[in-house]
Amino acid sequence: MTATLTLGPIPYHWPAQAKCDFYARIADEATVDEVYLGEVVCSKRAPFFEAHLPDVISRLEQAGKAVILSSLAEVTLKRERKATVELAELERPEVEINNVGGLYARAGRSHRIGPFMNAYNEATIGWMARQGASHICLPIELPAKAIAIAAKTARDLRLGVEVQVFGRASLAVSARCYHARAHGRSKDNCQFVCEEDPDGMPLQTLDHRPILRINGIQTLSESYIDLLAETGPLMKMGVSHLRLSPQAVDMVAVSHLYRHCMDGKISVTEAKRKLQALCAGVPLSNGFFHGEAGYRQIAMDAKR
């Protein structure tokens, strides 16, 4: 049985027209089943795209994609609380909650738990299910053994369980905006400088080695998570959904590689070679899955 292939929300501050064009291609060409929409990083970015959301949702749904709206990961301001409540109160079958503040507003109605929530163990997943969760996206740093336990727990509770298999790992969010500070600006007067870095702002060590990416208040990995070789084991564990996180690469081509690999239409070796070519210049990693440092790339046969 194959898993559902999903596309997470865009983490970066891309121009509104770029987002519209991106989702038009996703609707018409990508082999994903479900698409998450919404601003999850910075509430100041949301107004730039809100007017386009109805048309984007309509186009995706007409193309046969299910659409799930995602909430902010961090809620500190009155406007952010209001936006979270408004999303939680939508009469949609499901929304994705990324901050615990949204659980109260959802009031026990069906919802999904996003990757910014800490669903690390069986007890937490059970508690989330009792609050109305129908689906859990696990934190990216969980190793395979923990994923297997979480997936069994989710199956027993009749929950969907999702794992990110491509894209930069979200490592932290902060009340402060790193992007603004790096340019000598305050968070309130950032002038949306994050738009200058459509794939995040590179951060280097003192000896000039790339180590992280900065995206507004968010810290991301330098490498793209790449679990192409692990899609088979993940599905055998009972993981029902595999998530691609949008990056500044050809995400339609990425979706085809993952779908063909999941369906056995292309070898893992060939798929990984093509993925590396698509992501030229960006390292790929799967260390978290194998219980190693997250930035590492571990060959599957090296773990057998």
Task: Give percent of the chain above pLDDT 70.
Answer: 98
Alpha carbon separation from 179 to 155, 203, 261, 263 (Å, rounded) = 40, 11, 36, 40
Considering only CA atoms, which of 283, 254, 232 is closest in space to residue 3?
232
Q: Could you tell me the CATH number of the domain that includes residue 292?
A: 3.20.20.70
Query: Does the residue 211 lie in any domain?
Result: no
* Sequence-ordered list of residues with C-beta below 8 angstroms from that of 214, at least 6 positions apart, any chain: 178, 179, 182, 197, 200, 201, 203, 220
Contact between 63 and 27 under an 8 Å Cβ cutoff? The reply is yes
Query: Does the residue 82 lie in any domain?
Result: yes
Query: Does the residue 206 lie in any domain?
Result: no
What number of helices (H) and strands (E) belong to the chain?
11, 12
| Angle between helix 16-29 and 53-62 (nearest 10) | 10
Query: Does the residue 233 lie in any domain?
Result: yes
Task: Name the DSSP letter for residue 64.
Answer: T
Query: Does the residue 8 lie in any domain?
Result: yes
The tokens for 167 are 């894209």
Query: Does the residue 249 lie in any domain?
Result: yes
Q: For position 303, what pLDDT does the model report? A: 41
Query: Does the residue 184 lie in any domain?
Result: no
Q: Is the pLDDT of residue 201 over 90?
A: yes
Q: Is the pLDDT of residue 300 over 80?
A: no
Q: For position 1, what pLDDT does the model report? A: 65
Write down the pTM of the prediction. 0.94
Q: How many domains does the chain have?
A: 1
Which residues span the domain enclosing 65? 4-168+223-303
Give the phi and the psi of residue 303 in degrees, each rounded to 5: -95, -5
Q: Is the pLDDT of residue 198 over 90?
A: yes
Contact between 38 and 69 under an 8 Å Cβ cutoff? The reply is yes
Query: Does the residue 214 lie in any domain?
Result: no
Contact between 168 and 221 under an 8 Å Cβ cutoff? The reply is yes
Q: What is the mean pLDDT of residues 163-170?
A: 97
Q: For position 92, what pLDDT does the model report? A: 80
